[in-house]
Amino acid sequence: MTHLLHRANQSATEIFSADARIGELTPRQFAVLTVIADQEGLSQIDLVERTGIDRSTMANLVARLSKRGWVTRRRTKEDARAYSVKLSPQGEKVLLQARSAAAAADQRLLASLPPGKRQDFLNALASIVEANAKESR
């Protein structure tokens, strides 16, 4: 099963990359931008908790997003070691464009399943993610 999940992830990444040709935006970057847009001012630790991306990868990812001008980082008032992350106007544009491409990619991926099975598949994936997120905490 692990191999099948890996292959499904590869397919999802390839389809997303083909549909979302926005400055070489990756699915992980899209996920992080989406979380930031949903709740502005989160710390990088908050982003780790909400995305499941490990701390060092998140730090590198946020640094790359900042270098591209898609996010801004500021030290938090509560902890001078932590950064608060916010979408820049350019990041908002990128995310807006990427959302429609991501939706198209999702539709392409789900099209391989019978219509009656699509929501069950999404629910099963969400259950797997939720169960494993609880264990990793």
Phi, psi of 66 (to 5 degrees): -65, -45
* Mean residue pLDDT across the chain: 86
> Which residues pair with residue 22 across a beta bridge?
none
What's the pLDDT band for 26 if we cut at 50, 70, 90? confident
What type of residue sits at position 103?
A: A
Domain count, the chain: 1
- Tell me the CATH number at 121: 1.10.10.10
- What count of other Cβ atoms lies within 10 Å of the Cβ of residue 15? 19
- The parent domain of residue 44 ranges over 2-136
CB-side neighbour CA atoms (13 Å) of 12? 14
pLDDT of 22: 65
pLDDT in tens, 74-127: 877 776 777 789 999 999 999 998 888 888 888 988 999 999 999 999 999 899
Comparing 111 with 22, the larger pLDDT belongs to: 111
Q: How far apart are CA 71 and CA 64, in angstroms?
A: 9
